[in-house]
Chain A
């Protein structure tokens, strides 16, 4: 395990500060596509600030699990953020096999969101939890196999090493493997962050919600934590995609990080475009999409394997 240096702060600080901005960019893109002016681009910050000032109401049927849910979720997503490199900046923590830990941080966050949802005893939340677990069980192989393909291709055992090995030149001459991984991770990014075509973040019908329905009973600071954790998750999975597609290395770390952040903003715009132009998939078709992502990641892994052999 490499010791964290001051440089690696550059990989984490932009995430901590700018993550809620991505949601604003997505919403603004959707508003422009819909011919509306849209909410302020900083709306998520206002929401979080407002929620933090409020008190929380807890149902008498809930237990400590319900209160622990948002805290553990936020902590787990922060744990994931620490593992992901951004631009040229190294991740704060990096050791062989850290991609497995990344998948499990995200898994822990999801597990506690689901537990808190089940703890309320609401039928709707149970349904949302069931769907969330079903879809993420299919998305997780895609994430793990995709990252494994990256690691195999770079012949470096850690995430930071794998992403450092991706250069513009490798992207052009290394064949299509990297693009396959990027496509698979993009699907995981959309599915895990409850975006269209898997889930609609704006839906107001409990029957069709997946992620939103699980957090209906949370309020005040708890919901602020959930919102912040959701935007951090968007940032973490987004930077996995951007790390592949925008591997620009200028040599100056500040510039690299700025380019990566710009890439994330561009990805948010792309997400907004996808959401504006696509319809949500029928629930029975979603597993189909996720299996396709896993298949793409598997192909990339096989290609990387043959490349190494």
Chain B
């Protein structure tokens, strides 16, 4: 069982690295979708297969939103906004990947220093959660396109979810649904905002926002 969870954790980690090094926006959306799917199965494995109705509901909602609805929304935005396919990073792909290694090392270190009360189901869970959050933040600050910032936000949210599942298995249903709803609204609003930005300015390059400063 633990080998399976570790495999899932490494899959999440590899998805993070793929996010750092892929150059196509569509690819990024797909990788985030896959990460969402893997995340969705996580609670089932963490509970050793004892599925309750409540959890089944959460798993279905989480997989449905992260793995299906978000990607469809984002891909539609990409199509409507006529975005160029490249990610256009500020930081090169190779350097991003090296950042990934450093960030993973850093999250292992943070994990060893963090006074956590709960016991995670896998020794990798907390480092991977922190790593995912760091990668999400890095995507937000190092990429030009508005869509990649939405993706960075989603990855950040994924990281928080891993941390939540691994430490507090019994998160109240209401909180869990609230978080999912928040993420859903955020992606929805950001998708629409991105579309409008591209309609107004013919691109979604947030670099240009600098010129708004007085």
Contacts and interface: CB of A to CB of B under 8 A. Distances in A.
Contact of B101 (A177, A288, A295, A306): A295
Chain B interface: which size bin?
A: 10 to 19
A299 B16 CA distance: 12
B98 interface: yes
A291 B97 contact: yes
Given A288-B94, A306-B123, A295 B10 contact: no
A288 B93 CA distance: 7
Interface string B7-39: 100110100010001000000000000000000
A276 B30 CA distance: 26
B105 A302 contact: yes
Interface in A121-177: 172-177
B7 A175 contact: yes
Given A175-B3, A298-B101, A291 B10 contact: no
B104 interface: yes
Contacts of A180: 10
A176 to B, nearest CB: 4
B88 interface: no
Interface of B: 3, 6-7, 10-11, 13, 17, 21, 93-94, 97-98, 100-101, 104-105, 108, 123-124
B101 A173 contact: no
Contact of B98 (A177, A291, A306): A291
Interface in A249-271: none
Given A288-B93, A306-B123, A295 B100 contact: yes
A271 B13 CA distance: 27
Question: Which of A172, A180, A288, A295 has the most chain B CB atoms inside 10 A of its CB?
Answer: A295
8 contacts: A174-B3, A287-B94, A291-B97, A292-B97, A295-B17, A295-B98, A298-B101, A303-B124
Interface size class of A (residues with CB under 8 A): 10 to 19
Contact of B104 (A176, A288, A292, A299): A299
A277 B129 CA distance: 36
B38 to A, nearest CB: 13
Given A288-B21, A292-B21, A299 B13 contact: yes
Contacts of B21: 288, 292
Contact of A176 (B7, B93, B108): B7
A291 B93 CA distance: 10
A133 to B, nearest CB: 18
Nearest to B8: A176
Contacts of A295: 17, 97-98, 100-101
Nearest to B4: A175
A302 B105 CA distance: 8
Contacts of A306: 108, 123-124
Contact of A291 (B11, B94, B104): B94
Given A288-B93, A291-B98, A299-B104, 12 more contacts: A173-B3, A175-B6, A175-B10, A176-B7, A288-B94, A291-B94, A295-B97, A295-B101, A299-B10, A303-B10, A306-B108, A306-B124
